[in-house]
Amino acid sequence: MKLPVIVERGTTPYRAILAAVVAAGVLAALWGSGLEPFEQGQVTRFMIYAVAIAGLNVATGYVGLLSVGHSAFLGMGAFTTGILVVHQGWEPWATIPAAFGVCLVAGLLVGLPALRIKGLYLAMVTLAFAVAFPELVARFDGLTGGSSGMNIPRLSMRPPEWSGFTLGEKDQWLYWLGVVVLALTLYVTHCLTRSRYGLAMAAVRENEIAASSSGINIAVVKTLMFGLSGGITGAAGALFAIYMGTLFAEGSFTLMAGITLLIGLVIGGERTIFGPIIGAACVVYIPYYTSSIGQGQGSAVLFAVILLLVIFLAPSGIAGALGSLVNRFVVVRAARPRTAPPSRTGPAVSSAEPERGPVLAP
């Protein structure tokens, strides 16, 4: 058999591959549901970071908007959940869409400078946003608790009745909530990057002048994608608030948290669906297993070593390197358009869809 094997999208082999991936994900979720409470809590934390890094991947990976301040979106989503639960009496799970919406709007506003600046200059804007966030939390201490932090009462974290879980099974409920949010995030990201918007995102990332000359509205792509990126990370922040129950802006949502998300994205792999999962596993489990080395400094050293190895050996990240390895054996490509047999009265007619106008044209 000649390698690599070519698999076209929409064919039976392609559907079999998708079914195998989905089945593997379902089995992994079922396996995690049977873990001990502490280990299951670590898996839940890992899924929260995977959602946050997936949000960062939309802006930094797919569009090329470098951001080191996504910790502010994570914190904004967390405090949105805390405020709605403590002061408004919302059920915790219902605050996730609200956190997404608040951070979506904030992302649209923060992404406006991306219309004029890019690269390190944009990174400086997001840096300022991350540094200012703890100060904003302290300023509105009536809502956020300020420097004292915010505590969400345990009874307010009770799973909803329709879930079938009791207060004592809160860990199980939160685990499955994390599974659902992560699965939806990966699915939406996959569909987005495979759509015409995904082509527009890639064009803007590679060459803005060429993208603009092709009819792509660069302002719309940059602003919307940065907003979506912030919204996804805000949803992760809502999960983080439900998971922790106690929120401290100076402890959990500092600039270092934003850098941690960026490191996870680089290690896992930009512009990949599974890169955020690999990156989240690194940022959660490496510190956990190396916390006893060098009085806690071992994890930082190991992070640096892994980051250097990834940069030199796998510039596209671990997921990108694994993808290149898989492509030596199996290559998935778009299905070729089928052409109707030649007609006696005219030329052959293609069954492919007619070509449409420019993507996101103003």
Q: Is the pLDDT of residue 197 over 80?
A: yes
Per-range mean pLDDT, top range of 47-56, 58-67, 160-169, 204-213? 47-56
What's the domain count of the chain?
A: 1
Give tens-digit pLDDT for 259-282.
899 999 999 999 999 999 999 998
- What CATH number is associated with residue 210? 1.10.3470
pLDDT reported for residue 291: 72
Give tens-digit pLDDT for 10-66.
888 888 988 999 999 999 999 998 899 899 999 999 999 999 999 999 999 999 998
149 or 46: which leads in pLDDT: 46
362 located within any domain: no
pLDDT tier for residue 355 given thresholds of 50, 70 and 90 = very low
Strands (E) in the chain, as ranges, are 5-8, 150-151, 246-247, 330-333
Give tens-digit pLDDT for 310-347.
878 888 889 988 988 888 888 888 777 666 555 555 55
344 located within any domain: no
148 located within any domain: yes
352 located within any domain: no
pLDDT reported for residue 251: 79
Q: Is 5 helix (H, G, I), strand (E, B) or coil?
A: strand
Per-range mean pLDDT, top range of 106-115, 151-160, 176-185? 176-185
pLDDT reported for residue 328: 86
Q: What percent of the chain has pLDDT over 90?
A: 41
pLDDT reported for residue 296: 58
Closest CA to 69 of 282, 270, 234: 234
* Radius of gyration for the chain, computed over Cα atoms and rounded to the nearest angstrom: 22
Helix axes 37-56, 218-244, angle to 10 degrees: 170
Range of the domain at 223: 44-333
222 located within any domain: yes
- Burial class of residue 276 (count of CB atoms within 10 Å of its CB; 0-12, 13-18, 19+): buried
15 located within any domain: no
pLDDT reported for residue 362: 39
pLDDT reported for residue 357: 43
288 or 30: which leads in pLDDT: 30
Q: Is the pLDDT of residue 356 over 50?
A: no
For residues 314 and 325, give the distance between their C-alpha atoms in angstroms, rounded to a whole number.
11
Q: Is the pLDDT of residue 292 over 70?
A: no
Cis check: omega of the bond before 4, within 30 degrees of 0: yes
298 or 132: which leads in pLDDT: 132
The CA-atom distances, in angstroms, between 47 and each of 50, 80, 182, 184 are 5, 20, 7, 12
Report the alpha-carbon angle 250-185-307, nearest 5: 60
pLDDT reported for residue 192: 92
pLDDT reported for residue 337: 66
300 or 319: which leads in pLDDT: 319
pLDDT reported for residue 347: 54
pLDDT reported for residue 344: 56
Q: What is the DSSP string of 268-320?
A: H-TT-SSHHHHHHHHHHHHHHHTTTSGGGTHHHHHHHHHHHHHHHH-TTHHHH
Residues 346, 351, 354, 355, CA torsion sign: negative
**Strand 246-247 vs strand 330-333: parallel, antiparallel, or unpaired?**
unpaired
Global pTM reads 0.89
Q: Is the pLDDT of residue 351 over 50?
A: no
pLDDT reported for residue 147: 77
Among 78-87, 294-303, 329-338, 339-348, which stretch is predicted with the lowest mean pLDDT?
A: 339-348
For residues 224 and 361, give the distance between their C-alpha atoms in angstroms, rounded to a whole number.
14
Residues 274, 277, 282, 285, CA torsion sign: negative
Closest CA to 59 of 154, 126, 4: 126
pLDDT reported for residue 23: 94
pLDDT tier for residue 353 given thresholds of 50, 70 and 90 = very low
Q: Is 332 helix (H, G, I), strand (E, B) or coil?
A: strand
31 located within any domain: no
Q: What percent of the chain has pLDDT over 70?
A: 90
5 located within any domain: no
